[in-house]
Amino acid sequence: MRSILPKGESRKRRSIAARAIACVLIALLALPFAGCSASPNATGGTAGSQEYTVSVSLSGGSGRASIASPTTIVKDGDTYTATITWSSSNYDKMTVDGVDYAPVNDGGNSTFEIPVTLDEDIAVSAETVAMSTPHTIDYTLHFDSSTMKEKSSDDASGGSPAGTASSAAADFHNADLGCGWEPTGALQLEYAKHFTVDEFEDGLRLICVSNGERFLVVPQDAKVPDGLSSDIAVIRRPADKVYLVSSATMCLVDALDANDNIFMSGTKADDCSVAGFKSALESGAIAYGGKYSAPDYERISASGCTLAIENTMINHTPDVKEKLQKLGLVVLTEQSSSEPEALGRVEWIKLFGVLFDKEDEAAHLFNEQKARIEQTSGLASSGKTVAYFYINSNGAAVTRRAGDYVAQMIELAGGKNAAEEITDTYWAEISYEQLLAWDPAYIILASDADYTVDDVLNDENLKDCTAVKNGQVYQIPGDVEALDSPVPASILASVWLAGILHPEQVPADTYTTESNTYYETFYGISFEN
């Protein structure tokens, strides 16, 4: 009989108090490495220390994130401590020379303070919980001393990650065109936090993305304002001759019927699940232009592409972005995966509505999905406790913290998250003892779990758990994509769970109906469960 959870105290989830103590100890142990020999001053350094800015490069990893550059370093004697701000809020640990470092911030993008050496490759690892299972990823950092300059009180606290989210929405919204023009309005966003759109006269639209990128979308026959800020790239509207690398947005572009505006793709036909794109790739209407890390520059140049829509993977190959720009392409890095709410990821369709001159269509599609989801989510709490867990790469059973997208799924479906007490870490290890103490009415397994519902139901150690006794163990659907990951389709997860928790309010066939509608609208396929 297969045991799915670790037993005993070695795998038992630490209490909140214990985790807090551990974090304090880690911080204290890190002080010698950080060169902190005096009490911190107001700027985060110590008395007698000096702050600088320095460019830092990141290589390796999965390509799903980047770090802010330039960043702040504190020099104290012969030691340097760098502030590392990631492109997402989903990093909960960094390891340098065998020492673990916890984030130094409570909200926003994950930020760490780590010891560094200049002009040397520094091997680090970082644990991300962005997807359905946590992953430890190896990276290499390199700090270039030739770029180091003393930081004044007027300097910002660090750069923005190229193509990634800033720590707060207010940090990236900048409606100043540099030429004296004032906005006449703004695109109304209900859920999306990682882009803004300001409206100007003559049909101009200013897009600000949370990585600091700015784009002025100008009608084909309109004049570009004189004196436009040099950091603003110009895109003619509707965007045409596009190299679309971000596969997550293909479904949104397809739903807008804007495939004719796409010349090249970063996804091959065999790897594409969006029917319209797949067909266009197979017919040659859209050409394969190479993946994000290895574009076919010659082919892209010959095609006349003027705009590349990338995802955050491009941040691990900054030379690729630079080469594309040298070919004359504007590069826009979409950040939908950073959105904290599922409907925020879907709302990125409004940005593409601006690019492809389909704002009304985008608003309609978003409102339609929002209304459909609201009919079957946001239900009053049933008081039914739901436990979600998965097995990580180290073989430990873990659950996600309160407030993240899995917790939102449970709450929108009218359930009570068994792990609601976990607020100070992104995930926590759990044991049989912990799960039995929670005694959830329902157990939800990760979509990509390598253990089954039957494994849980037949696990002798869980025979006294209410969910197991009543046969209320389920696995999140993931036939097209994992619904417990930060993708637009994750809005369907709460519908699925609501049907389980509230069968009297949400008929059993609701999820099938809603998922079919969603995949027909955004993927052009029928998806039966």
Of the residues 338, 373, 408, the one at which a domain ends: 373
Establish if 33 belongs to a structural domain: no
Q: In this structure, are 121 and 248 located in the same domain? A: no
393: Cα within 13 Å, side-chain hemisphere = 10
Residue 34 lies in a domain: no
Residue 22 maps to a domain: no
Q: What is the pLDDT of residue 374?
A: 75
Does the residue 24 lie in any domain?
A: no
pLDDT score of 494: 87
Together in a domain, 105 and 196: no
Number of domains in the chain: 3
Q: At 358, which CATH number?
A: 3.40.50.1980
The pairing of strands 262-265 and 91-96 is: unpaired
Predicted model pTM? 0.66
- Chosen domain end from 93, 117, 150: 150
- Within this chain, do residues 323 and 392 fall inside the same structural domain, yes or no? no
Dihedrals phi, psi of 215, to nearest 5 degrees: -140, 130
Residue 314 counted as domain residue: yes
486: containing domain:
377-522
324 in the same domain as 203: yes
CA 225 to chain CA centroid, nearest Å: 34
Is residue 118 within 8 A of residue 80, CB to CB? The reply is: yes
Phi and psi torsions of 206, nearest 5°: -105, 120
Q: What is the 3-state secondary structure of 352-363? A: HHHHCCCHHHHH
CATH number of the CATH domain containing 76:
2.60.40.1850
pLDDT of residue 13: 32
Q: How many CB atoms lie within 10 A of CB 391?
A: 18
Q: What was the pLDDT predicted at 10?
A: 33
Question: How many whole angstroms separate alpha carbon 424 and alpha carbon 29?
Answer: 20
pLDDT attached to residue 484: 82
3-state secondary structure of 196: strand
Q: For residues 249 and 218, state if they share a domain.
A: yes
DSSP secondary structure of 427-473 = EEE--HHHHHHH--SEEEE-TT-SS-HHHHHT-GGGTTSHHHHTT-E
Same domain, 179 and 210: yes
- Based on the fold, state whether residues 358 and 283 are members of the same structural domain: yes
Out of 95, 120, 150, a domain closes at 150
Same domain, 136 and 249: no
Residue 412 lies in a domain: yes
Alpha-carbon torsion 315, 158, 186, 489, what sign?
positive
User: Over its length of 529 residues, how does the chain's per-residue pLDDT go in tens digits?
Assistant: 556 665 543 333 333 333 332 332 233 233 333 333 333 333 344 445 688 888 888 888 655 567 888 888 988 878 899 999 887 777 888 999 888 888 887 666 788 999 999 989 999 999 877 655 677 888 999 998 888 888 654 444 344 333 333 333 447 899 999 999 999 999 999 999 999 999 999 999 999 999 889 999 999 999 999 999 999 999 999 999 999 998 778 999 999 999 999 999 999 999 898 999 999 999 999 999 998 889 999 999 999 999 999 988 787 788 899 999 999 999 999 988 888 788 888 999 999 999 999 999 999 999 998 888 777 666 667 788 998 877 665 656 777 666 677 788 888 888 898 888 776 666 677 788 888 899 999 999 988 777 789 988 998 989 999 999 999 999 999 878 888 877 778 888 888 999 999 888 888 788 888 888 888 999 888 755 4
Is there a domain that residue 245 lies in?
yes
Same domain, 44 and 91: yes
- Give buried/exposed letters for 282-292 (b at 16+ CB in 10 A, else e): eeeebbbbbbb
Answer yes or no: do 176 and 264 share one domain.
yes
Peptide bond into 70 cis (omega under 30): yes
Token pair of 67, please?
């770090």
Q: Please tell me whether residues 457 and 355 are part of one structural domain.
A: no
Residue 238, preceding peptide bond in cis (omega within 30° of 0): yes
Q: What is the pLDDT of residue 23?
A: 35
Asked, for residue 18, whether it belongs to a domain, the answer is no
